[in-house]
Amino acid sequence: MKRRTYLAGLASTASLAGCTGTAPPTAGRSETTVPSEAVVQYSDLSDEGKDVFEALLETDSLVGPKSDFPTGIWNAEYVDYEGTVYAIERDQTGDYIAEHSVQTEFVNETAIEDDADVVAFEELTPYAQDIFEASRSGAGGESLGDPSSHFAAYDYVRYEGEYYRVATVVADIPEWELSAEKTGQ
């Protein structure tokens, strides 16, 4: 029976966020000879990449959004681990994951409607304050779970004498399955 592990389960062992890269999906490699320039040495992977690769050896595959996979392992075609070369396979599962984020936009106080719901930053929960600050500073404002309940009652947040429009956004992010298969080399 093929075991699939959801990548989110690895979060306790390593921070796996911040991946970018555009390696194309692969399916069923049939090459008998692996070009040496396509092989990444295990020792050259980041610590997070090593954690993911080791998890791939323990399970048949890992599943998660592309952004959860470290760049080095995502972009690798092959990994040489202790003299054995593994092909790295990437396939979209066809499923999507809802990613919630908060967007903020500075607004001139004169543009705020009279009946708008405004909350002072200090009145937000510590969790909502963290999300708001991350969004305002350009760090993204992503959250675990749905942040809309923390901002649904408000149109604007007053922060250090300035006003910010707040919107929660949900995006469907494709889910990927990553696996490592021995090549025979």
- pTM confidence score: 0.59
Whether 22 has a pLDDT exceeding 90, the answer reads no
Please report which helix (H) or strand (E) contains residue 58, including its range: helix 47-58
Which pLDDT band, with edges at 50, 70 and 90, does 141 fall under? Answer: low
| Phi, psi (rounded to 5 degrees) for 23 | -60, 135
Supply the pLDDT for residue 46.
95
Mean pLDDT of 9-32: 42
How large a percentage of the chain has pLDDT more than 70?
A: 77
Separation CA 8–CA 98 (nearest Å): 13
pLDDT tens profile 85-140:
999 999 999 999 888 778 889 999 999 999 999 999 999 989 889 888 888 887 65
The residue among 169 and 25 whose pLDDT is bigger is: 169
Mean pLDDT of 52-80: 93
Q: Residues near 40 by Cβ (< 8 Å), separated by ≥ 6?
A: 72, 76, 77, 78, 79, 80
Identity (one letter) of the amino acid at 172? Answer: D
Separation CA 22–CA 181 (nearest Å): 20
Supply the pLDDT for residue 16.
38
**Average model confidence (pLDDT) for the chain?**
80
Separation CA 179–CA 4 (nearest Å): 9
